[in-house]
């Protein structure tokens, strides 16, 4: 499964990219607002240059035509840019138009199978179902990933399922078991994935034994 980092923070991006652990990046207006003010074009370019893979940059326009023109500007920033549009009627129309121009589109804010189906029909490169936000309202976020996987496989849609709004390592594990194509995760969760107390305990014991014996390389 491809791992995307869900952030606009260049320090977090460089840390993960330097470790060779990420296949792309997703941003959204809230994530960008945490780290930037004013024109973000240069920052978007730097983010795109930091990773060898798709970087989702979201439109803030809400009408079809405005999304298309904003999407074209975002796509022109860098070849890694993928235009992110919301799953609205206008967003689906903008998705279709941008795809006709060869621009990759990530359709975001997906909360139902019927929405995911329409995004695939509109030619979306990625669909972003928000697992954590469904869990937040007592729903089963992972059930949505499961159902979208089934529908896309039933009908041979090439749209990649990008599990989003990931809150903890078990979300990532479940997404892998279901067969999501990608998962976008916050930096904190990425590093949590590498942790296991038995690894720490085992390493400590190995080093204690080695040092107690006075062994050397």
Would residue 84 show up in a list of annotated catalytic residues for this protein?
A: yes
What is the secondary structure of 178-196 as a DSSP string?
HT-SEEEE-HHHHHHTT--
Q: Which of residues 98-117 bind ligand E4P (CB under 6 A)?
A: 108
Q: Which of 130, 141, 174, 182 binds ligand E4P (CB under 6 A)?
A: 130
Told to check if 6 binds ligand E4P by CB under 6 A, we report yes
From residue 161 to residue 180, the character string flagging contacts with ligand E4P as x (rule: CB under 6 A) and all else as - is ---xx---------------
Q: Which of 9, 16, 25, 26 binds ligand E4P (CB under 6 A)?
A: 26
Core vs surface per residue 58-84: b (16+ CB within 10 A) or e: bbebeebeebbebbeebbebeebbbbb
Nearest to 94 by CA among 74, 118, 122: 122
Told to check if 12 binds ligand E4P by CB under 6 A, we report no
User: What torsion, rounded to 10 degrees, do the Cα atoms 32, 38, 40, 43 define?
Assistant: -90
Q: Specify the residue, 33 or 207, whose C-beta has the smaller distance to ligand E4P.
A: 33
CB 163, min distance to ligand E4P, A: 9
User: Residue 84 and residue 28: Cα distance in Å, rounded?
Assistant: 8
Which one of 2, 34, 72, 84 is the catalytic residue? 84
CB 114, min distance to ligand E4P, A: 20
Nearest to 144 by CA among 178, 177, 98: 178
CB 128, min distance to ligand E4P, A: 5
**Which letter does DSSP use for residue 137 in this model?**
T
Which residues in this chain contact ligand E4P in the complex, by CB under 6 A? 6, 26, 28, 108, 128, 130, 132-133, 164-165, 184
Would you please indicate which residues are annotated as catalytic (active-site) residues? 84
């Amino acid at each position: 499964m491809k791992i995307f980092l869900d952030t606009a923070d260049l320090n977090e991006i460089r840390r993960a990219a330097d470790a060779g652990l990420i296949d792309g990046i997703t941003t959204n207006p809230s994530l960008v607002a945490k780290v930037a003010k004013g024109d973000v074009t240069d920052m978007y370019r730097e983010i795109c240059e930091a990773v060898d893979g798709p970087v989702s940059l979201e439109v803030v326009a809400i009408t079809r035509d405005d999304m298309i023109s904003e999407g074209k500007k975002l796509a022109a920033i860098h070849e890694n840019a993928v235009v992110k549009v919301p799953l609205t009627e206008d967003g689906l129309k903008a998705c279709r138009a941008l795809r006709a121009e060869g621009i990759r589109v990530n359709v975001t804010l997906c909360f139902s199978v019927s929405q995911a189906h329409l995004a695939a029909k509109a030619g979306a490169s990625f669909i972003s179902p928000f697992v954590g936000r469904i869990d937040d309202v007592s729903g089963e976020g992972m059930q949505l990933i499961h159902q979208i996987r089934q529908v896309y496989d039933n009908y041979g849609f090439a749209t990649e399922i990008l599990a989003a709004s990931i809150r903890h390592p078990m979300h990532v594990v479940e997404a892998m078991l279901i067969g999501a194509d990608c998962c976008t995760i916050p930096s904190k969760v990425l590093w949590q994935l590498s942790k296991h107390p038995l690894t720490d305990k085992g390493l400590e014991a190995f080093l204690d034994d080695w040092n107690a014996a006075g062994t050397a390389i």
